[in-house]
Structure 1
Amino acid sequence: MAQLMENEVFMAFATYAAIVTLKMMLMGPITSYFRITRGSFSNEEDVARKSDEEKKKLLKSHPDVERAQRCHRNDLENIVPFFFIGLLYALTGPELSTALLHFRTFTACRLFHTIAYIGALPQPSRGLSYLVGVLVTTSMAYRVLSTVLLL
């Protein structure tokens, strides 16, 4: 473990992995905020103490809530693979500058993707940020496979 703490690439990975993980965790409170402020709940137990008439009004979908939920699911589909591939990539001994380019680009893409999703920015803003993030993870996966391929 002490050797990893001296490895600049691993430390860079840990930094950016923590940033995107915190961003992903923030999506829960953002979704809750939209649920409360938009009066949009999806579960009976969330409105259990309300009258039947209030329940009918509150048990509905809202575009802002739906966007926040889809953004969170998209994070799970992209940040989790980045975490595993990025860790393996860091262990292959890449140049620090190249690793930083990968980690920073992915992190910037995920942050912009969230802004584009929550802010309902027009396409292709969200699509491009998603695509670039996937390409970064694919590039790291290629490095891992080309370095350690033992089939």
Structure 2
Amino acid sequence: MQIKLTINGKLKSLEIHPGETLLETLRGNGYTGVKYGCGTGDCGACVVLLNGRPVNSCQVLTAAVDNESITTIEGLSTMDNPHPIQEELVKAGAVQCGYCTPGIVLSVYALLKSNPHPTEDEIKNALDGHLCRCTGYVKILEGVKNAAERAN
């Protein structure tokens, strides 16, 4: 089955299987910042932006997003040029193993685009569904608050 997706600003024609998830499609095409965690939409490791909104890509069939726009962490930053959200998370000590970080960064990016001055409760709501086994979340909240301040 042939579909078209705009991935990180570039139009792509892709051959997919009818039951293929967006996670499988992205990873199969080299977007390895999208992580497989639970496969049930509970951990947030696979979050990407679909038309600017965070979605669990393990729960989205690729065929259902034909002609849509996808942003992965690779579209937001590079290793040589990290996004300010990533920099603030690192400064706050909110990154250890890093497995959850791409999904968190994309959710925070979407939050700050729609709400540049989020309250702590709004930040917590945006991070709901992201599991981090390393940091205990306090440092993640600190990093997000710092990123919001830096953006303003």
TM-score range, shorter chain: under 0.3
TM-score when scaled to structure 2? 0.27
TM-score when scaled to structure 1? 0.27
Q: Which has the higher contact order (CA 8 A, sep 6+)?
A: 1
